[in-house]
Structure 1
Amino acid sequence: MSLVNFRDSAFLSDPEGLRIRPGVLYRSAQPYPAADEAVVAQLRSCDIRTIVDLRDPRETRPADWVAAEEAGIAVVAAPVNPATDALTARMATMTTAADLGEFYVLLAESAPAAVTAAVEAAARPGAVLLHCAAGKDRTGLLTALLLDLLGVPAERIVADYARTADALPEIFANLAERHRTALNAQGPTRVTDSDGRHLTIPAPLLEAPAEAMSVFLARVHTHHGGAAAFLPACGVPAATLGAFLAKAAVAAA
C-alpha cells in the first residue's frame, strides 16, 4: 500500500520553482500497515534516500520500515514527543486552531535534539522524506521550518500544511485500525497510552487548520527570528544549514 498524505513539499509551497528545488523534500503519514514493495517503489521513483521518522518509539513497530532499509534507504529516528509539563498543560487547554499553533511552538522548542537530527538528515544527498503518524503536526512543523529557511512565503507554507486535511479520513481510519482507537467517534476522542493513562485528544489535533500553521510561523518569527535563527539555537550546525541550502535552494539567477 502506497504512503498516505505523500507529496513533494515544493508542489504547493513553491510551484514556480523560485525557492526550493522540486524532488528534494517530501512528507507523508506513517507506513500502513508497514512499508512494502509498493512503498519502496514509491520512494525509489522520487530518489528518496533518507527517511526521517519523527514518531515516539512507542508509536513504531519493528516492521514499519524494514522493506525500505533492505532496499538501501536510510531511516533516521528523530522522535519529537517530549513529555513536558508545559506541553501537557497546553494539551489540556487546547480548544482552537491558534492553540494548536502555540502547541507547535512549544513542541519545537522542547525537542532541539530531534529538530537537529531531522535537519542533519534532510541535508544528506538525495531526497528526504519526513513523516510522523499522520504527517501533519510534527511533520508539519519540521517541514515549515525548512521551507521558512528557504524563504518560502508563509501563506505558501500554510497551504502545504492545510493540504493534509484531504487525507485525514484515510489517515484516521488507518490509525484507528492500528491502535484500536475510534478516532472518528462523536464527542471528545479518548485513547489509552502505553502506560495505561486515559487521554483526550483535543479537537484541533484532529484537523489541519490553516490558522494553526499561520500562528506557528508568526510565533517562530516573533520569538526566535525565523527558522534561520531558531534552527541554530536548537543546535543545528552552520555547516548543516549550508549543506541543506546548497542542496534544496534554487540558485539565484
Structure 2
Amino acid sequence: MPALIDGTFNSREVAGLPLASGGVVAGGVLYRSDALAAVTDAGAATIAHSLIGTVVDFRADAEREQAPDRLPEHVDVVRFPMLDGAVRDSGRAERAVPSLAAVYAHLLDTHGADFAAVGRLVARPADPARPAVLVHCTAGKDRTGVAVALVLDAVGTARDAIVTDYLATAANLAGAWADGMRRRIEAAGMPLTPELDELLAGTTRPAIESVFAHVDAGGGAAEYLLRHGLSAPDLDALRSRLTSPGR
C-alpha cells in the first residue's frame, strides 16, 4: 500500500480495523508514520488538508536534530523521547543485539506515563477543528508500534487486526528505506547480522504478541494505561472517539 503522506514510507491512517465486540476503529482520529523529515510539498499539503492537528514524535533528541520533521505551521508537536534509535549500542561487539520483544518490554517498563499521555491526546484533542493525532518515530515500527497497539487494544480492537496493522510496517519499509538504513549501519562499521537486520526493519507476530502478554499480566492494555496516568473519563473518551458501529 502506498504511503499516505508523500515523502514517507510507512504513513497510514489507523482506521477500519474490527473491534472484538463489533464495529470498527473510527476514521479521522489516529494516524501513524515513519519520520516526517523528507515530506514533499505534496505530502505537506496532505497533512495541511487533513484533520491532523497534533503530531507525537517519539524520537530521541539526536534523531530529531539529524532529521527534523517538515510540518505545516498549524500542527502542534508533542515530544516523548524514547530510546536513541532501535539499534542503540547494538553494534558494539561486547553487547548482544536485543530482540524486538526485549526492546518492547523496555519501552513498556520505562515509558508508561508517555503512552498514557498519548492516549489522553487522542481522547481529548486540543483543536476541535483538527482533532486527529499522528504518532511517529524513525521507522514508525517499534515505539510507534507499541503505542498504537496499546491504544487499539485499550479500546477493544480485535488483536488479530492489531497484529496485521503492525506487520504491515515491514512490507512498507522493505526496499529503499531498509536498504538505506543497512548502508548507514555498514558505513558505521557494524556487522549486519540477521538479528540486527530484524531490529532495523523487521516486524514479527511474536514481538507484538509479547506486548499483549506484558500488559495482560497486569490486567490488559486499558489497565496499563490507567495505572500510568490515564483517567477513567479519559479512557471513556478514548473509546468514544476511536470506535464506530461501522456498517
Question: Could you say which TM-score interval applies, normalised by the shorter chain?
Answer: 0.7 to 0.9
Partner of 1:23: 28
Tell me the alpha carbon deviations over residues 75-114 of structure 1, each in whole angstroms, 9 at most, x when there is no partner. 111122289xxx99xxx5557xxx4224312212211232
Matched-pair contact (CA < 8 Å) for 1:50–1:129: yes
Paired AA for residue 76 in structure 1: V
RMSD: 3.4
Mapping of residues 1-253 of structure 1, within 5 Å: 1-11=6-16, 13-14=17-18, 18-33=23-38, 35-61=39-65, 64-68=68-72, 70=73, 72-81=74-83, 92-93=95-96, 99-123=99-123, 124=125, 125=128, 126-168=131-173, 169-175=175-181, 180-182=184-186, 187-188=191-192, 202-206=196-200, 207-221=202-216, 223-250=217-244
Q: Which moved more, 1:117-126 or 1:204-213?
A: 117-126
SS in structure 2 at match of 1:10: coil
Residues paired across the two proteins, number: 227
SS in structure 2 at match of 1:64: coil
Per the TM alignment, residue 49 of structure 1 is displaced from its structure 2 partner at its CA by 1.1
Tell me, in whole angstroms, the C-alpha distance in 1 between the residues paired with 2:168 and 2:113.
28
Higher helix share: 1
Q: Which moved more, 1:130-139 or 1:20-29?
A: 20-29
Matched-pair contact (CA < 8 Å) for 2:62–2:84: no
Tell me the alpha carbon deviations over residues 104-147 of structure 1, each in whole angstroms, 9 at most, x when there is no partner. 12212211232133222222141111100000000000000011
Per the TM alignment, residue 187 of structure 1 is displaced from its structure 2 partner at its CA by 4.5
Paired AA for residue 73 in structure 1: V
Structure 1 residues not aligned, in runs of 5+: 190-199
Matched-pair contact (CA < 8 Å) for 2:117–2:229: no
TM-score (ref. length: structure 1) = 0.76
Tell me, in whole angstroms, the C-alpha distance in 2 between the residues paired with 1:174 and 1:42.
25
SS in structure 1 at match of 2:71: helix
| Change beyond 3 A, Cα 1:224–1:135 | same
Per the TM alignment, residue 30 of structure 1 is displaced from its structure 2 partner at its CA by 0.3
SS in structure 1 at match of 2:9: coil
Structure 2 residues not aligned, in runs of 5+: 1-5
Tell me, in whole angstroms, the C-alpha distance in 2 between the residues paired with 1:81 and 1:249.
31
| Change beyond 3 A, Cα 1:187–1:62 | closer
SS in structure 2 at match of 1:115: helix
Tell me, in whole angstroms, the C-alpha distance in 2 between the residues paired with 1:23 and 1:174.
31
Tell me, in whole angstroms, the C-alpha distance in 2 between the residues paired with 1:81 and 1:186.
19
| Change beyond 3 A, Cα 1:42–1:142 | same
Q: Once the two structures are aligned, what percentage of the paired residues are identical? A: 31
Tell me, in whole angstroms, the C-alpha distance in 2 between the residues paired with 1:252 and 1:42.
25
TM-score (ref. length: structure 2) = 0.77
Matched-pair contact (CA < 8 Å) for 1:36–1:67: no
